[in-house]
Amino acid sequence: MKKTKSNKAWFLVLPVFILVAFSAIVPLMTVVNYSIQDIFGATRYFVGVEWYREILNDSRLQDSLVRQFVFSGSVLLIEVPLGIAVALMMPKAGKWSVVTLLVLALPLLVPLNVVGTIWQIFGRADIGLFGWGLNALGMDYNYAANPMDAWFTVLLMDVWHWTSLIALLCYSGLRAIPDAYYQAASIDRASNWAVFRYIQLPKLKSVLLIGILLRFMDSFMIYTEPFVLTGGGPGNSTTFLSQALTKMAVGQFDIGPAGAFSIIYFLIILLVSWLFYTAMTHGDSK
């Protein structure tokens, strides 16, 4: 769509700019400030990039970074296809479509710590259906003792909580495809796969962009759920970046290194999101 050129539009954007600047720029500047100083009581020393060097060489943090990437990658690889599949299976109209919409939205509205609490119980072998069921099937499942199980539980918890987001967005995308497309496809005797590949998937692109970006950002910042479920353990198996950072900043009060950590953390999310954004909007230059 052609847009009018007008700098007066700035007045419409100004409230957003002021509001977000208040809650974003000032704190970000503070973090940058921390990250280049050694704060020793009231005295501050300028230390330059020393904290950054320290953080980048810290093997525990490197581990949690790798863990974080594996986790976010798994989240996207499972939730995006599953969400599309669920959207395709949803009834197109009528009473049942409203019912499924409501049920799908339900997990999204559970506060993060309650999600952790639910799975904490649900996964226990003695009193939770899930843990009990897995053990009854002959698996030795115990999320509190076995790192792999803990990891798996956090992943499943995330899939349970957030796949609906992708599904709802994709459902909306599918609803917006005019019937004429499907009619044309059936005249051409297109297979289901061809309909999906050449009609549905391209139409889903823009909602998938929103879905993938949101899921990437949020899974990369995951904190509360693993914290409630396992407290980051056993060992460090479910200590993701946010938790490592919070331990450093609030637990040990290492403000300088924590500041440097924050900036690096933020830049990574920014870079990866930008890559997704550019890759997915590439080609439809408006």
Site for other proteins in 217-256 (CB under 8 A): 217, 220-221, 223-224, 241-243, 245-246, 249-250, 255
Site for other proteins in 31-90 (CB under 8 A): 31, 34, 85-86, 88-90
Contact 157, 229 (CB under 8 A): yes
Measured from the Cβ of residue 73, the count of other Cβ atoms closer than 10 Å reads 12
User: Which residue type does 207 have?
Assistant: V
* Helix/strand/coil (H/E/C) assignment for every residue in 16-45: HHHHHHHHHHHHHHHHHHHHCEEEECCEEE
Of 133, 104, 131, the closest CA to residue 229 belongs to: 131
Q: Of the listed pieces 57-65, 71-79, 163-171, 183-191, which binds other proteins according to CB under 8 A?
A: 163-171
Q: Which is nearer to other proteins, 66 or 271 (CB)?
A: 271
Nearest approach, Cβ of residue 60 and other proteins (Å): 16
Contact with other proteins (CB under 8 A) among 19, 66, 139, 184: 19
Distance CA 268, CA 271 (A): 5
Rg for the chain (alpha carbons), in Å? 23
Q: Is the peptide bond before 234 cis (omega within 30 degrees of 0)?
A: yes
Nearest approach, Cβ of residue 167 and other proteins (Å): 9
Q: Which is nearer to other proteins, 48 or 202 (CB)?
A: 202
Told to check if 6 binds other proteins by CB under 8 A, we report yes
Distance CA 226, CA 158 (A): 10
Q: Which is nearer to other proteins, 9 or 194 (CB)?
A: 9
Distance CA 193, CA 199 (A): 10
Question: How many residues form the binding site for other proteins (CB under 8 A)?
Answer: 97
Site for other proteins in 90-119 (CB under 8 A): 90, 97-98, 100-115, 117-119
Told to check if 155 binds other proteins by CB under 8 A, we report no
